[in-house]
Amino acid sequence: MTTTIDQQADVYSRPNARFGGDGTLEIRASAVGNCRRALWYEATGHQVTNPRNDDSLTMLEAGNALEPVVLRAMARAGWDITPTDRDNPRMVSLRLGARLAVSGHVDAAGVAPIFGNEPGIVEVKTRGPEAFKKWRTLGAECSHPESVWQAACYTYGAFDEARDVVIATLDTGNRVWDYEVIPAYRVERAFEQACARLGELASHHLVNGPDPYALPERDFTADDWQCRRCPFLNACLPGSAAVEPGDEPAVDAELVSDEEAQAALLEYEQAQEMLKAIEEDKQWALGRLQSWLRQRGEDKARLEGGRKTRTVGMVKTTRYNVDHKRLNALLDPETRATIVTENLSRYLRVS
Ligand code: SF4
């Protein structure tokens, strides 16, 4: 394994995969977790069949533009941050074997008390509120392992050894940020996982050379979000045009016209108004009852209601807060996955 540090201005717009002049397959560090077939399509020059739309490009650019905001917030919070010069970014290139290399630009190096005196890699991510919550609860190794693989590659590329890395994340909806430290021994493991992933692609390259029609196996299926957002979806899975879950027409559902949907929305709005008024009445009544109890110097009392005698009483509840950051630092991803589990529910929101 050798490392080189290079300056390259087009680093932010490089392809995710390409063949270098000497035939080396170069993978962008941020794409280490991408589908290997998609990387092969890109490296071998297949035509993009499903380009990003304008909204998706705007989201991507907004995420990139917000990265320095997070770094400045970290500096204000006392971190010793050395951000990459975005006009002249430092490229870290890491050679993995004879025919494959990983390269990318480091967001920043950072020193905090948790690092001691040693600078470590800071990888900045921007996420929507749901993804932010998922990351905070499960930790990056479970929620977004590719971000840890990426930071691990940078760490080995920059320091030639495993060090603690920091994943700093901005919630783009609520404009709050937080960070997670991945200890060095788990960074080492993440690096091994990234190498194993890419090793299969390197073997494919060794066996087939840059043959555009010798495609690696698919890493995902048409239901996965990776396929739905894949620029080569129509080439890889013809006929599975990106259908968001929930967009499929329900087979046996009664057809609803636009006018009926409009009428249902009006009904919903009226019901919401009524519920709001009822909730306000309820809160007023509860406030009066609480004052009455307090006047009597009691925590509980019986009162005759409209249909039955009721008990009016103060209830104490205890809430338990889990410090997910400390939990994630202490537990490896496998142990954590047995403790923090995920439940997916679907509901319709009208906003
Ligand atoms: S459509 Fe899915 S399986 Fe095919 S290349 Fe893209 S991500 Fe991979």
The 10 Å Cβ neighbour count of residue 23 is 11
What digits encode the pLDDT tens for the residues 51-90? 989 988 898 899 889 999 999 999 999 899 998 887 888 7
pLDDT in tens, 260-300: 999 999 999 999 999 999 999 999 999 999 999 999 999 89
35 Cβ inside 6 Å of ligand 1: yes
CA 340 to chain centre: 17
Q: How far is the CA of 41 from the centre of ligand 1 (A)?
A: 9
Tell me the average pLDDT across 323-345.
86
Best probe residue, ligand 1, of 146, 236, 240, 243 (max atoms within 8 Å of C-beta)? 236
- Which CATH code for domain 2-236? 3.90.320.10
pLDDT, mean of residues 300-312: 92
The model's pTM? 0.77
Residue nearest (by alpha carbon) to ligand 1 atom 7: 227
* Residue at 260: amino acid letter: E
Atom of ligand 1 nearest to the CA of 220: 3
Ligand 1 pocket member 38 (CB < 6 A): yes
Beta strands in 84-224 (DSSP E): 90-95, 100-105, 108-111, 120-127, 165-171, 176-182
Probe residue for ligand 1, chosen from 16, 36, 37 as the CB with the greatest number of ligand atoms within 8 Å: 37
SS3 (DSSP) at 317: coil
The strand ranges marked E within 163-213 are 165-171, 176-182
- Is residue 226 within 6 Å of ligand 1 at its C-beta? yes
Select from 39, 197, 218 the residue to mutate for testing ligand 1; criterion: most ligand atoms less than 8 Å from CB. Answer: 218
Report the interhelical angle of 184-208 vs 145-159 (nearest 10°). Answer: 90
How, if at all, do strands 90-95 and 300-304 pair?
unpaired
Whether 48 is in the pocket of ligand 1, judged by its Cβ within 6 Å, is no
Give the span between the Cα atoms of 155 and 188, in whole angstroms.
Answer: 9
How many angstroms is it from 230 CA to the middle of ligand 1? Answer: 6
Q: In the chain, what are the domain boundaries? A: 2-236, 258-301
> What residue owns the CA closest to ligand 1's atom 4?
236
pLDDT reported for residue 2: 44
CA-37 nearest atom, ligand 1: 5
Question: Per-residue pLDDT tens for 167-181?
Answer: 999 999 999 999 999
